Amino acid sequence: MIVVTGAAGFIGSCLVSRLNKAGYNNIIVVDDFSKTEKNGNLEGKTIGAKVGRNDFISWLEGFGREIDFIYHIGARTDTTEFDKSIFDELNVTYSKSIWKACVKYKIPLVYASSAATYGLGELGYGDDHEIVPRLKPLNPYGDSKNNFDIWALEQTEIPPFWAGLKFFNVYGPNEYHKKRMASVIYHAFNQIENTGGMKLFRSHNPDYPDGGQLRDFVYVKDVVEVCLFLMASPPASGIYNLGSGKARTFKDLTVNTFMAMGVKQNISFIDTPEDIRDKYQYYTQAEMSKLIGAGFDKQFHSLEEGVTDYVRNYLAEHKYY
């Protein structure tokens, strides 16, 4: 029995699909199922049972000994939300309860951390444990993820295996419900389809040209491959970066979206919204040597490959993974 929290969401539902493809069908999916806009993400997938997010901790008391692995992917991920209490409850306190259950019932655990923990990257983007307490995230979401990482590293009572995955800029199918927080590729596809053009944020940093802001974009299909690897061949417990390892510009991403759609390039620029302007990361790039050194040897999709697959096989047909 495998548990996936956040299973109706973007990464969680893709993970359920990949687990099904690998032959795992007794999957307990955990989420807030009152949000019907996410229903399509689980259609056609084989699961064992649905458990509401608020019921999951008590459910574990009855079924904990039957669980083989937990993927705790669920989280509040809105980087524009600044109510710290929301993140404390959902991303820290709730995650601690899952951790403690994994200790009690000896369940291996993979949980979602985030590259938002790195802030402006003052200390680089290496996943060494010693820098975690010194990181300075730019928003309450990043703070909550880093606070849980710090707490996890301090624990003496631990699951038989655990890994915190610092997701970088994940994109791909099953993000239809994410609205403002969906990937730039998703927004580009819709803008191009509706207007023939795409508006990108203007740079407010003299070190970067408009559209030259750099992010580590990683395709969700690569993310779920790493998740399965950690269950099949668990390395040393700890925190691992999960990006492509190659920073690319937003202009690169958008140009490739135009190409995948077969539409002539038409890019313009607008000011970055003031509510996120001073919290904006201009550069992220995952240092991936730790995961590779742990034995993960599959090639990641290039940006060109990932965008083409996402646009042509999912967005263009409004299909799910």
Contact (Cβ atoms closer than 8 angstroms) between residue 165 and residue 242: yes
Looking at residues 238-251, what average pLDDT do you find?
Answer: 97
Please give the structure tokens belonging to residue 199.
């508006």
Dump the DSSP string for 187-231.
HHHHHHHHHS-EEEEPP-STTS-TT--EEEEEEHHHHHHHHHHHH
The predicted-structure confidence for 10-27, as pLDDT tens digits, reads as follows 999 999 999 999 999 999
Contact (Cβ atoms closer than 8 angstroms) between residue 219 and residue 306: yes
pLDDT at res. 85? 75
Please give the structure tokens belonging to residue 21.
């493809």
Fold for the domain defined by 2-168+218-244+285-300: Rossmann fold (3.40.50)
Looking at residues 245-252, what average pLDDT do you find?
Answer: 97
User: No. of H helices and E strands in the chain?
Assistant: 11, 12
Weakest mean pLDDT among 203-207, 224-228, 236-240: 203-207
The predicted-structure confidence for 84-130, as pLDDT tens digits, reads as follows 777 778 889 999 999 999 999 999 999 999 999 999 999 999 999 99
Contact (Cβ atoms closer than 8 angstroms) between residue 23 and residue 31: no
- Three-class SS state of 27: strand
Contact (Cβ atoms closer than 8 angstroms) between residue 306 and residue 172: yes
Question: Residue-wise over 155-187: b if at least 16 C-beta within 10 A, else e?
Answer: eeeebebbbbbbbbbbbbbbbbbbeeebbbbbb
Mean pLDDT of the chain: 94
Give percent of the chain with pLDDT exceeding 70. 98
The predicted-structure confidence for 24-82, as pLDDT tens digits, reads as follows 999 999 999 998 899 999 999 999 999 999 999 999 999 999 999 999 998 875 655 56
Strand 247-249 versus strand 214-219 pairing type: antiparallel
Q: Give the helix ranges, DSSP H, for the chain.
A: 10-21, 56-63, 84-87, 94-105, 140-154, 184-195, 220-232, 250-261, 274-277, 289-293, 303-310
- Three-class SS state of 233: coil
Residue of 94, 118, 141, 314 with catalytic role: 141
Categorize the per-residue pLDDT at 179 as very low, low, confident or very high, splitting at 50, 70 and 90. Answer: confident
Give percent of the chain with pLDDT exceeding 90. 88
- Three-class SS state of 147: helix
Contact (Cβ atoms closer than 8 angstroms) between residue 159 and residue 106: yes
Weakest mean pLDDT among 10-14, 29-33, 176-180, 313-317: 176-180
Residue of 45, 84, 136, 178 with catalytic role: 178
β-sheet bridge partners, residue 30:
5, 51
d(CA 29, CA 176): 19
pLDDT at res. 77? 59
Catalytic residue check, 178: yes
What region, left, alpha or beta, does residue 81 occupy, with left being phi > 0 and alpha being psi -120 to 50 degrees?
beta
The predicted-structure confidence for 261-292, as pLDDT tens digits, reads as follows 999 999 999 999 887 887 788 999 999 999 99
Q: Is the pLDDT of residue 175 over 80?
A: yes
Count CB neighbours of 124 within 10 A.
11
Residue 278: exposure state from Cβ atoms within 10 A (0-12, 13-18, ≥19): exposed
Catalytic residue check, 141: yes
pTM: 0.95
